Copies of this chain bind each other. A is one copy, B any other.
Amino acid sequence: MAAPGSGQAGMMAEMMLDHTHDPAAHCWVPGADAHPDFPVQNLPLGVYSIGGGSPRIGVAIGDMVLDAQGLPDLPGDVQDALRQPTLNRLFALPPAERTRLRHALFAYLTGEPAKHAPLHAVADCTLHLPFTVGDYTDFYVGIHHATNIGALFRPDNPLLPNYRHVPIGYHGRASSVRVSGTPVVRPNGQTKAPDAAAPGFGPCRRLDYELELGVWIAGDNELGQPVPIAQAWDRIGGLCVLNDWSARDIQAWEYQPLGPFLAKNFCTSVSPWVVTAEALAPFRTAPRLRSATDPKLLPYLANEADAAFGALSLQTEVALQSAAMRAANLPPVVLSRGDSADAMYWTLAQLVTHHASNGCDLRAGDLLGTGTLSGPARESFGSLMELSEGGKRPVPLPGGEERTFLEDGDTLTITVRAEREGARTIGLGTCTGTIAPAR
């Protein structure tokens, strides 16, 4: 079992790893050991149902879902939490309880094969939103994205003076968060072309995606009680893939002076599986994007551990398949590939700590989006707005089509994996959605 990094950082990171991260571990569920996303080292949690049944908590293992009720060797509060229809109660428990659950799952799935294990093929399951979302906050940690978008909206002033001091974020809409696969209805809205005398109302013509990671918050802090950065990782329950669908033309007209509103709240898609902070421990690394010439961090946002391995290195891929491509049996085309550590200026712990620094109460089941993760080069940009340079440079698709923004029938899929030499690759899974026509 390898530890990330070297020296003190490596030693500190190694302390977060245990036998459940062993790349050689063997699971008796057929196909799990070879699965690209969900081997026994991952053990993500989610909510599933079969037929018209009630939602239940499950664990992804290979191409199967293991029902989480009735596992042996778990304390009563964990058992109770696993009988709920969402993960909120489980992630309100102390983090040690979820570590215990991970160890129990690992022991069960790597021990003597169970004869009557409650396993279902994921193909037979409906996957649900894993939490009742309390509040949804979207950040803006992608410094290349902030620079690219800023240049389009404010050519003279792309990256604002506060960017490297304060993790910029804003509140999103919790009601319209949906699980991956939910059709995305093209929104109507007010838009105004720069040369138009007045705005009009109608279907969005600059519909875009945004590649993001989502963080599901664990635990609770009382209103008025901040979360020191040393405790911030205890509040990170797990991660998902997030697509912050965006109506660029609505956004351009409405966003001054209070920020995006209807441009962003018609649907936010998340992948169904919650990949826990424990499972992601091997992929923590030192932040790469804060340079020596950058402003010194204010003390509340800095500690040694965060500087040593507060970042996450996850491999992202965005693919698009149009209706015409689907009809012609053309596979999805990859629009971009990147690494989250090359995109994120701020760490997840800094987001949690900053969010609660004024006493704001974060609750189990709250969702944080990182903001769009664009790498430094065009090949790793996380939105069509950036890839098409604000609509000026169409992106060619197989079959002769091209895109500046999304069209009806387009299916957009984001896939995120965690890969590192010496560690077993695990996946966050996919977040996908198909554009339905405006109503």
Contacts and interface: CB of A to CB of B under 8 A. Distances in A.
Interface of A: 134-135, 137, 140, 150, 153-154, 160, 162, 165-166, 168-176, 178, 185, 187-190, 192, 198-201, 204, 223-226, 247, 250, 253-262, 265-267, 295-296, 298-300, 354-355, 357-363, 366, 436, 439
A134 B132 CA distance: 10
Nearest to A166: B190
Given A223-B185, A257-B150, A257-B259, A359 B166 contact: no
Given A176-B223, A259-B259, A295-B198, A190 B171 contact: no
A261 B255 CA distance: 14
A223 B259 contact: no
B267 A223 contact: yes
Given A150-B257, A256-B160, A260-B258, A359 B169 contact: no
Contacts of A201: 298-300, 357
Contacts of A247: 358
Nearest to A223: B176
A237 B226 CA distance: 34
Given A185-B359, A357-B188, A439 B176 contact: no
Contact of A361 (B166, B176, B359): B176
Given A358-B188, A358-B250, A169 B223 contact: no
Contacts of A439: 224-226, 359
A171 B172 contact: yes
This chain: copies in complex: 2
A247 B357 CA distance: 13
A192 to B, nearest CB: 8
B257 A189 contact: no
B224 A265 contact: no
A199 B165 contact: yes
Contacts of A298: 190, 199-201
Contacts of A361: 175-176
A297 to B, nearest CB: 10
A300 to B, nearest CB: 6
B169 A360 contact: no
Contacts of A171: 170-173, 261, 265
Contact of A199 (B166, B168, B299): B166
A361 to B, nearest CB: 5
Nearest to A198: B295
Nearest to A360: B265
A226 B262 CA distance: 12
Contacts of A295: 198
A175 to B, nearest CB: 5
